[in-house]
Structure formats: C-alpha cells, structure tokens
Amino acid sequence: MEFKTEPYAHQLAQFEKHKDMDFFALFNEMGTGKSKVAIDIASYKYEQGYIDAVLVIAPNHVHSQWIQEQFPTHCSIEYRSFIWSSSKKGTKVYTDMMDEFLTPKSKKLKVFAVNVEAFQSQGVIPFVATYLKHNTVFTVLDEATRIKTPTAKRSKTIHKIEKYGQRCILTGTPVTKSPFGVWSMFEFLKHNFFECNFFIFQARHGVMIQGINERTGGRYKTLIDEKNWNMVLSKLNKIADVRGEAGLMPQDYEDVAGAYSITEKNVRFIWKQKQFKKFKRLDEIKEAIEPYTSYATKKDCLDLPDKIYEIVYVEMSKEHKKVYNTLKSKLLVEYEGKDLTVVNKIALTTRLMQIAGGYFPYSDQEELAIGSNTINIEKKGNLLIGKKNVKLEKIREELDETSSFPIIIWAKFVSELEAIYKELSKDYKCTLYYGGTPDYKRKDIIEDFKAGKYEIFIGNPSVAGFGLNLQNATTQFYYSNGFNVEERLQAEDRSHRIGVKSACLYKDIVFKNSIDEKVALAIRSGRDLNNFFSTSSLREILS
C-alpha cells in the first residue's frame, strides 16, 4: 500500500502486524502516532474490500480533530466525512445531510466521527445503529480508557458495537496502570474475550476487600489500599511471632480473612508478597492480549522527531463563556480605537487570559456585570468561574491516558497553579514550584523530583523555566501560556536537554476561538509577541 505520510519504524511494524486482523489494540504512549497507524490500516482494509466505512469514537473535540487534521494528513485514499454534533441534531439541514451520508453506498470511504460523551444519552444511538447496519464498518475507539468502567452507561452502549464489523482501540495507558479497564476495552473488541464476567475478572486479578458505605450501610467489594494491606500484614506478623518455627497454620489465614473481610486466598497472597500490591496475575492478562496488541514508547522510537507538539481543545461552559465574552465586550467598548502601547495591550489581554484560565482576576469587592446580573467578587484571583474547571478535567483525562511519568505541568497564574496542585495531589505525588515557594525549599524540590519522589512537577515558567534541569520528564502540559516566547522556549528545554534519549511531547490545553488559542498558536509558530501586539489592533487580538 502507498502511504500518504511515511511511517516511522514502529508504525510500519504495527501496520504489518494488525492490518488483516478483525480486532486489535494499540497501547502506544502519547506522541508516538497511534492515529496514523489506525488510518493507514483503515485505508488498507478499504482497498482490500474488507470495509467501506469507518466509525471514529473519541472524546469531544478530539473526534473533530480526526476529521479536520488526522485524516487529511494521513489518509491515502479518497473519503467522505461527517462530524456528529449534538447541538445541531434536530435541525432539518443537519438531519438531511446526515441521512444522505449514513445510509447510501459511496464510491469513497465514509468516515463518521462521534464524541464518546454522546453515548451517555440516547440521541446518537439511532444514527450510529443506522450507520453500522448499512455499511461494513471499521470502528476506531480512541482514548479507550473512556470505557474502562464496564457498568457505566456509555460503556454498555459502546460494547454493543462489537457485533458489527471490525474494531480497534487506541490508548496510551499501560496494562499495569489500569488492569481492570482492560476487561472492558477488550469486551468491546470481542465479546467474552477473557471468558469470564467483570466481577470474576476483578476477583482473579485484584486484591479485593469488603468496604462499607457509611451513608447507607451497604457492603461492596473494592481494591485493597495500602493502609488495610499493612493492617493485614501486621496481624499476620504478630501471629507468626507467636507461632515461632511452627509457622502460620491454615486456621490463622481463615481467622485473619474473617477479621478483615478479605478472602483467605488474598490473605495468603499478602503474606507471600509482603510489599503492597493491588493487582495480581498481570502476566496472565498480558499473555492473553499479546497476539492482538502492540506497544510503543517515545523512548523506544528512536526515529521520532526531538520535539512533538499537540494542541488539545476544550470547550468553555456556558457560564464561563458568558463571563469571557462579557469582559471581551467591555474591553472593546472602553478601549477600542484608543492609542494603546504594547504594554497597555498586554495588560488588558492579561485579564482575559486569566478568565480563560477559569478564575476571576478581580480585586476584593470588585463587581462584574453579567447580562442583567452583577457578581460580587470577594476573593482575589482564585474564585472559580462556574462549577467545574474544564481545563483541569481535561488534564486529568490526559493523565489517565499516559504512562510517561514524571510529567511537567506549566501555568502562568497563581490561582491556576494552586488549583492544579490541590486537585492532582489527591491522586498523584505532586510538587509545586512558583513564586510562593520559599527559597530554602527550591533546591530540595528539584533534587527530589529528579530522584523520582514526585510524579508531577507543577511550575510557573517565569520562575522554574530557566536554568533547572528536569530532563527526566519528557511530557509537558501547558495549562496556560504567557506572552514571552523566550520563557516558553526555556520551559520546553527543561525536558529537552543534552543526553535525553526520548522525544519530548508538549501539549497545550486550549479553548478554541479564544485569546488562549491565539497566544498558544503565536508562541508555537515562534512569532515575536511584541511584534504581534504592536501590529495588531485590540479587536484583532481579542477576536
């Protein structure tokens, strides 16, 4: 087959391994080009007559990037495409266009892209069902950890696609990070792949303990945590000390199992293992999926470019968008047409950048008019706009899809940095390095990060972007950017240093059609922002 873009060595190997399979999985680290492999295989399957259509299921905005960026870049054959949009569903024009696309046969490959969130409701189901019924479909499930919970509504719905056509899953999450999620992902690829239901799979591969719901008093099974593991182990050690050379008796295991609501087999596993371990028999899982699976890490892909850049788009909530547009209009009304210096424009734009970051930048008691309402801002710069932080949620989702820890997350504003640290510290070992970090702590933070004591380094580029060596982290996220190109380049080079043997991945989390996007694209293109501000009107900057 003739490729539109030349594959890297690992991509070609994966293409050759999976091109004739009915189902397969790519467990490729972020930045190694999973999408291209899937598109090349789809093109091959179409040319061979195996399929005549593709269904792409991916997170919101990512699904549209498949159509707008990935297929135009990599697809070597002619194709037609359609992007699902819940907001347009029901309009006559959109419905007519969809009807014309979904059912009739085409002389070109058909590509239908749907966001995975749409499967949480019934709206998209009839259209996907029609598409699957009238076409021979190859389904690509991108960021497949979105169905890792088999009891979730969208997971159950997507599992039903297994009955139709050929399928593949793409994820950067290693088996060892989410073993239970593997059951659900492979249930999508092939019904009853592991020849057991999810609960039997859990019991076989997880060290489960009984928990109690404090509100209802109900009992449930959950993975053991380190605290309970150590309690069980401590009890066994005490019994062993009493037994002496005789060692533990069968009754001892039974007694401990009953006391801690855990199976006797798991008590024996804890005694044998000693060191805390939530999962077991992972080698069995790997052996089962091996024939259908490929893996790739940036470290192993020696022919990748030194630096890989990606933009991850997110969408503001209605409340967030309202606040953003209100401030933008207010700035234009007040300052458009006035003689503004570069410094003036940066100062005005900074306020909008703070809003884009999700937090009010106003001083104590300042009022902001939103439509007919007036909001009193009592805190300075750390009051969240709306009920959730969309950017932070997206970073969490991205972290679920990666295995390349440690990671660096950069942000410009204090409220952003502190919120990121507070939220991610719930599940990851994080450190925060910014203007508020005492001087006497800074050296220890860097040394501890380099020693592997932290999974995530959260920093401000103006403070941590210069001079520090953080090359053990080859994946960086940019929650927000400043206006200094040199600052950004220096921050990138904290990872990209002499001696680094892996490609470095840089991901910007960006609101589409915002100042956020404009600044990120300007910096990425290497454009001098002083020139950008001096040659652009206020409307051009803010629009």
Domain boundaries, the chain: 9-197+283-296, 207-277, 307-312+389-529, 317-384
Given this model, what pLDDT does residue 367 score?
39
Q: Which residues of the chain have pLDDT under 50?
A: 363-381, 498
Report yes or no: 140 and 57 within 8 Å, Cβ to Cβ: yes
Give the pair of three-digit tokens for residue 262.
């855990």
Dihedral sign for Cα atoms in the order 21, 23, 27, 31 = positive
Nearest-Å Rg of the Cα atoms of the chain is 26
**CATH number belonging to the domain at 9-197+283-296, selected among 3.40.50.2300, 1.10.10.410, 3.40.50.10810, 1.25.40.10:** 3.40.50.10810
Given this model, what pLDDT does residue 499 score?
52
Pairing mode of beta strands 475-478, 504-511: parallel
Please state, in angstroms and rounded to a whole number, the distance separating the CA atoms of residues 146 and 58: 9
| CA proximity to 36, closest of 58, 1, 69, 59 | 69
Given this model, what pLDDT does residue 220 score?
85
Given this model, what pLDDT does residue 373 score?
40
Please state, in angstroms and rounded to a whole number, the distance separating the CA atoms of residues 471 and 501: 10
Dihedral sign for Cα atoms in the order 187, 188, 191, 193 = negative
Please state, in angstroms and rounded to a whole number, the distance separating the CA atoms of residues 36 and 168: 13
Kindly provide the residue ranges of all beta strands, DSSP E only, lying in 315-433, ordered along the sequence.
359-360, 366-370, 373-377, 383-384, 407-410, 430-433
Please state, in angstroms and rounded to a whole number, the distance separating the CA atoms of residues 94 and 107: 22
Does 207-277 carry CATH code 1.10.10?
yes
Given this model, what pLDDT does residue 466 score?
66
Report yes or no: 211 and 218 within 8 Å, Cβ to Cβ: no
Domains 207-277 and 307-312+389-529 share a fold: no
Given this model, what pLDDT does residue 331 score?
87
What is each CA distance from 174 to 9, 31, 144, 346, in whole angstroms? 21, 14, 12, 43
Please state, in angstroms and rounded to a whole number, the distance separating the CA atoms of residues 101 and 53: 11
* Residue position matching structure tokens 């210096």: 341
For 161, the 3-state DSSP assignment is helix
Asked if the peptide bond before residue 406 counts as cis, ω within 30 degrees of 0, the response is yes
Please state, in angstroms and rounded to a whole number, the distance separating the CA atoms of residues 366 and 78: 56
If you ran DSSP here, which 8-state letter would residue 191 be given? T
Given this model, what pLDDT does residue 294 score?
96
pTM to 2 decimal places: 0.80
Given this model, what pLDDT does residue 375 score?
39
Please state, in angstroms and rounded to a whole number, the distance separating the CA atoms of residues 349 and 433: 25
Give the pair of three-digit tokens for residue 133.
């019924």
Given this model, what pLDDT does residue 314 score?
93
Give the model confidence (pLDDT) of 9-48 as tens digits: 999 999 999 999 999 999 998 888 899 999 999 999 999 9
**CATH number belonging to the domain at 307-312+389-529, selected among 3.40.50.300, 3.40.50.720, 3.10.20.740, 1.10.10.350:** 3.40.50.300
Given this model, what pLDDT does residue 369 score?
36
